[in-house]
Amino acid sequence: MTLYDKIMAIYPELKPQDFLTVIRLQNDSDGKGDYIAKWEHPTLPRPTQEQLDGVQ
Amino acid sequence: MAVSLIPLTAAVSGALPLTNGGTGLTAGGPAFGVTRTGSNQSISNATATKVQLNTEEFDTANCFDSTTNYRFTPNVAGYYQLNGAVALNATTMTIIVGFIYKNGSQFKRGTDIRTTLNVDSLVTVSALVYANGTTDYFELYAYINASSGSPIFVADSTSTYFNGSLVRAA
């Protein structure tokens, strides 16, 4: 399950375009994987690592 | 690299200075052309991902790292024209975007298509950029939001590439 899938599981109300505006997921092709490069959503707080780890 | 003003009555050898309306370049500056070849690059959905450009067509000043960081770090200060394209695919794509990053941050956005796509697609991005000739670096990123299928950057030298060259001294 990707980082995007986990975030969508936590916040299913997010829209695809949110990931080009208030949220940016990024992968620098350095072997470190996907990460949240920006989270500026006006109402939804940035998910914690515990929340992300809890998504199956 | 920049040359001082030369009176137009004087003999000029080498490059015409910026102050005389020239490029100010005394020799050809860095130029590079790289592509993605071999295997397609699998990426995560809805995640801006650096394109691993692993094949150099030319790299006149050895300024492009095509093995580790996949970035252009020019060694001459000045203004560079950069051009990139990425072939993308997934079963169904709803958003595709191309970016040039400078020093690890989004710098210029190119193609930005937001409609349902069911075929191979291409994003492009071009920009005239300034580089300090020491620490500034540039990378090509792209983004796919796929509603079905596994997104990839297609390995194809004709459609997944990044190139550029110095066009004017600082």
- pLDDT confidence of residue B24: 67
Residues of A in Cβ contact (< 8 Å) with B99: none
pLDDT along chain A (56 residues), means of 10: 96 95 97 97 97 94
Mean pLDDT of chain B: 91
Phi, psi of A18 (to 5 degrees): -60, -25
Residue range B88-142, pLDDT digits in tens: 999 999 999 999 999 999 999 999 999 888 888 999 999 999 999 999 999 999 9
Q: What is the DSSP string of B39-58?
A: S-EE--TT-EEE----EEEE
Residue B27 DSSP SS3:
coil
Total CB pairs under 8 A between chain A and B: 51
Is residue B8 over pLDDT 80? no
ipTM > 0.90 for the complex: yes
User: Is the Cβ of A39 closer than 8 Å to some Cβ of chain B?
Assistant: no
* Test the A interface: residue of B36, B44, B86, B101 with most A CBs within 10 Å: B44
